[in-house]
C-alpha cells in the first residue's frame, strides 16, 4: 500500500531511482545501511514519511478519479441529450400514412444522430 501512496502522490512509479530523486541519495543510503531495501514495505513507509505523503493518498486519488469520470460521463450524456432534442426540434416531415387507425409519420433529421440514423418515425393512434 505504501508504494501505491507514493505513486498516487508523486505520479512517479515506486522505484528506488525516483525515491533517490525526491529524498536524496544520503537518505536512501542511510536506509540501505540499516538493511532496509526498496523491495521492503518499510522502505516505502519511511520514504513517504520523509516526503510527508499522507497514508490515504491512494484512496484520495482513486476517489478523485472516480468523481472526474462520473462528471465526464454526465457531461457526455447531457451533450447527447441536447443534440437529440435539437435534432427532434429541427426535423422535417417527409410523408404520413394512416393504417388500421394509426397515423404513421416519417421525419428526416437535418443531420445524422450519434447512432447514424437520419430518419425517425412517429406513430399515433387516432381516438
Tell me the domain boundaries of the chain: 2-80, 90-125
DSSP H helices, 1-127, are 2-10, 16-23, 25-33, 41-50, 57-89
Residue 110: predicted pLDDT:
86
Predicted pLDDT at 82: 92
Weakly modelled stretches of the chain, pLDDT under 50:
none
Is residue 113 within 8 A of residue 87, CB to CB? The reply is yes
Predicted pLDDT of residue 1: 78
Give Cα 88 distance to the centre of its chain.
Answer: 29
Amino acid at each position: 500500500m505504501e508504494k501505491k501512496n507514493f505513486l498516487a502522490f508523486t505520479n512517479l512509479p515506486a522505484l528506488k531511482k525516483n525515491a533517490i530523486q525526491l529524498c536524496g541519495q544520503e537518505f536512501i543510503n542511510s536506509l540501505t545501511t540499516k538493511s532496509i531495501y526498496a523491495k521492503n514495505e518499510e522502505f516505502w513507509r519511511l520514504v513517504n514519511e520523509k516526503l510527508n505523503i499522507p497514508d490515504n493518498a491512494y484512496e484520495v486519488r482513486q476517489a478523485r478519479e472516480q468523481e472526474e469520470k462520473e462528471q465526464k460521463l454526465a457531461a457526455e450524456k447531457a451533450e447527447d441529450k441536447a443534440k437529440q432534442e435539437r435534432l427532434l426540434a429541427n426535423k422535417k416531415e417527409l410523408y404520413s400514412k394512416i393504417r388500421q387507425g394509426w397515423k404513421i409519420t416519417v421525419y428526416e433529421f437535418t443531420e445524422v444522430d450519434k447512432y447514424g440514423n437520419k430518419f425517425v418515425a412517429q406513430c399515433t393512434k387516432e381516438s
